[in-house]
Amino acid sequence: MNIVVRAADGGIDAPALTRRAAELRGKIIGMSHAAQAAHLASSLSCADIVTAAYWHVLRIDAARPKDPLRDRFILSKGHAAAALYAALAMKGFFALQELDTYCQDGGRLAEHPPANLLPGVEAATGSLGHGLPLGCGMALSGRIKGEVFRVFALLSDGENNEGSVWEAAMFAAAQKLDNVCVIVDYNKWQATARSNETLMLAPLADKWTAFGWDAREIDGHDVGAVAEAMQRVPNGSGKPVALIAHTVKGKGVSFMEDDNNWHYRAPTADEVVKARKELGLA
Amino acid sequence: MRNAFADELTKLGDEDARVVMLSGDIGNRLFDKFKARHAQRFFNCGVAEANMMGVAAGMAMNGLRPVAYTITPFITTRCLEQIRTDVCYHEAPVTIVAVGAGLAYAGLGPTHHACEDIAFLRSLPNMVVICPGDSFEVRAALRACLQQDRPVYIRLGKKGEPVVHSGPLADFAIGKAITMARGSDACLLSTGNMLPEATEAAHALELQGISTEVVSFHTVKPLDEACLTDVFARFPLVATIEEHSRIGGFGAAVAEWLIDNSVRPRQFIRFGTPDAFFKKSGEQDYAREVLGLSAPQIAAKVADALRQTRQ
């Protein structure tokens, strides 16, 4: 279960990662249906990023979830918890069957990741703009204690509305936290409107560059490209790294893609069948 | 209190490699000693308190003992959500130190006043709230905080306040109020930087023949319930004294305790600030005078109340 997907030469096995991403999407869709929970489209848009992180990039071990030297992955866009839970279960941090308890009474898998409750969850998120400051604190603690690890924070594009993100961006640059990496899931939608019609994010990569980061734009659905970009952290620039990942909300299911109704809608049983077929999971 | 804090922190930084100092771009030169000895454990986080609190929580989650410091409104209400979610929800042992309690910075205007912070902070799960009464309590409280594993809020005055205790407090304990003077007619429960006023008020009452007990009730959460049980049983009049709104502060906490425990006080007075911003210019002593929080005013109100019951 807990196997990093790598090609025979140790490089990125993109086809295998792509299959993992499809499986992850299948789990997420099933969970959304069973729980009739919101944020399905947000979870699907970051599925390739989460796959790249958990199946290629992160130095983590499900058997030692508190290892001081592990890489930290903070799902700052906590509303995509289904994607995180599914990945953690598939990686063996807890039993796959526990995914059936998602949003159920008395369970550990709430709609947003909990604090100090579930192995593999680095931080309780759900309120946006918290993950990066926490990550900076973790990175600095590593520096102080002489522990070498990396910190990845996955942010939504709407999350870039929060001032605390930019406070942290300036702080990380001033402290030269080159082991910190932000990935922005830039699906161009926030909860109720187009992102750039709400608060102007564009040019988003230029903004992160101007804030002292080594920023680049990537295709957030090219799981191999995402894995390669994340794997390069720290990249020798001496700066924290921002990956502006262009994505499509609801990616992977034709009738959900770029339709913001799926920010809140949950699929019917029939829609689950159709979606799984499209993902090649039928 | 401020200088005692910086001095004690430097000592604690020497003793414990987990201690990290985060400042919100204040305390020019105040932390020079700490910086000189532990440059890699001092961070000026700039005027960005939300980030500072998140950074502190992230450090605490990874085994460090960060102390985050700036002026009271900016390290409490400005970043209250970070305190609630990053610090308290994660049970991250961050020590939040606020300077300028109540009306300590009266002259700077309501942007810098802090008469609501106790109310906000004590409502947060997992949070301990400490309001030291003088510089000896500051040192002891800081030391005690870093020896336990919970989030703590420490509310400092400013600098140069009168010292009330005669020396270091070897047996200081979080949640254990300190009896400063014994009495039998009235009991003044003081929290935070009002301790010198309470002490002076008690002195004035003694001169009028009213035997007055003074308690430094430095920990507002958790309350010292044994102390409350004792004083409400023994005294015909108990007063709480704080430089904080009467809404939600120390006196309110004691009132809640009375109701919840079916304790009927014979007389209970809550000294605190009103439900209003203090907009006039002027320093702390002036503000206290206007708001009825000076020692003579406290003494007069207590004496009047006692006279009325005796009639």
A205, two tokens: 């990569």
CA pair distance B134, A44, nearest whole angstrom: 56
pLDDT tens-digit series, residues A109-158: 999 999 999 999 999 999 999 999 999 999 999 999 999 999 999 999 99
Residue A146 within any structural domain of the chain: yes
pLDDT tens sequence across B210-269:
999 999 999 999 999 999 999 999 999 999 999 999 999 999 999 999 999 999 999 999
Instruction: Judge if B150 and B185 occupy the same domain.
Output: no
Q: Alpha-carbon distance B116 to A214, whole Å?
A: 42
Q: What is the pLDDT of residues A240-275, one digit of tens each?
A: 999 999 999 999 999 999 999 999 999 999 999 999
State the CATH number of the domain containing residue B257: 3.40.50.920
Query: Could B55 and A124 be called an inter-chain contact, meaning their C-beta atoms sit closer than 8 Å?
Result: no
Number of C-alpha atoms within 13 angstroms, CB side, residue B221?
24
The verdict on B118 and B84 lying in the same domain is yes
With tokens 């009464």, the residue in question is B133
Measured between beta carbons, the chain A residues lying within 8 angstroms of B40 are 143-144
Answer whether residue A5 shows pLDDT above 90. no
β-bridge mates for residue B44, sequence order? B23
Instruction: Give the residue-averaged pLDDT of B55-80.
Output: 98
Q: Which residue range forms the structural domain that includes residue A60?
A: 14-278
Verify that B249 and B114 share a domain, yes or no: no
Q: Are residues B110 and B240 in the same domain?
A: no
Asked if residue B303 is part of any domain, the answer here is yes
3-state helix, strand and coil shares in percent for chain B, rounded to the nearest 5 = 40, 20, 40
Does residue B92 sit in the same domain as residue B189? no
Band of the pLDDT at B310, cuts 50, 70, 90?
confident
Q: Which two tokens stand for residue A168?
A: 């942290």
Q: Is residue A8 part of a domain?
A: no
Q: Which of B102, B123, B155 represents a domain boundary (last residue)? A: B155
Q: How many domains does chain A have?
A: 1
Question: Hunting for tokens 């809404």 — which residue is that?
Answer: B247
Q: Do B184 and B77 fall into the same domain?
A: no
Other Cβ atoms closer than 10 A to A265: 18
Residue B73: pLDDT over 60: yes
Pairing of strands B65-71, B95-99: parallel
Domain boundary among B140, B155, B170: B155
Residues B34 and B68 occupy one common structural domain: yes
Contact B54 A127 (CB under 8 A): no
Residues 6 or more apart from B38 whose CB is under 8 A from it?
A: B13, B19, B21
Confidence band for A2, pLDDT divided at 50, 70 and 90: very low
Domain total in chain B = 2
Quickly tell me which residue has 């004294």 as its tokens. Answer: B241
- In this structure, is residue A229 part of a structural domain? yes
What is the domain-level CATH number for residue B51?
3.40.50.970
Residue A227 inside a domain? The answer is yes
Q: Is there a single domain that holds both residue B132 and residue B192?
A: no
| CATH classification of the domain holding A51 | 3.40.50.970
- Classify residue B147 as exposed, middle or buried by CB count within 10 Å of its CB (0-12, 13-18, 19+): exposed
A133 to B46: CB separation less than 8 angstroms, yes or no: no
CA nearest to B82, candidates A234, A220, A165: A165
Amino acid at A117: L
- Measure the CA angle with vertex B139, ends B226 and B298; round to 5°: 55
What is the distance between the alpha carbons of residues B109 and A134, in angstroms, rounded to a whole number? 32
Residues B150, B186: one domain?
no
Please give the ipTM for the structure prediction. Answer: 0.95
Q: Are residues B141 and B197 in the same domain?
A: no
Q: Which of B40, B51, B62 sits opposite A133 (nearest CB)?
A: B51
B131 in the same domain as B208: no
Domain range for B235 is 178-310
The verdict on B273 and B144 lying in the same domain is no
- pTM listed for this prediction: 0.96
Instruction: Please determine, for residue A3, whether its predicted confidence score (pLDDT) is greater than 70.
Output: no
- Angle of helix B250-260 relative to helix B225-234, nearest 10 degrees, comes to 80
User: Is residue B170, in this structure, part of any structural domain at all?
Assistant: no
Helix A163-174, helix A131-145: angle, nearest 10: 20
Please check whether residue B160 lies inside any domain of the structure. no
- What is the distance in angstroms between the Cα of A167 and the nearest Cα belonging to chain B? 6
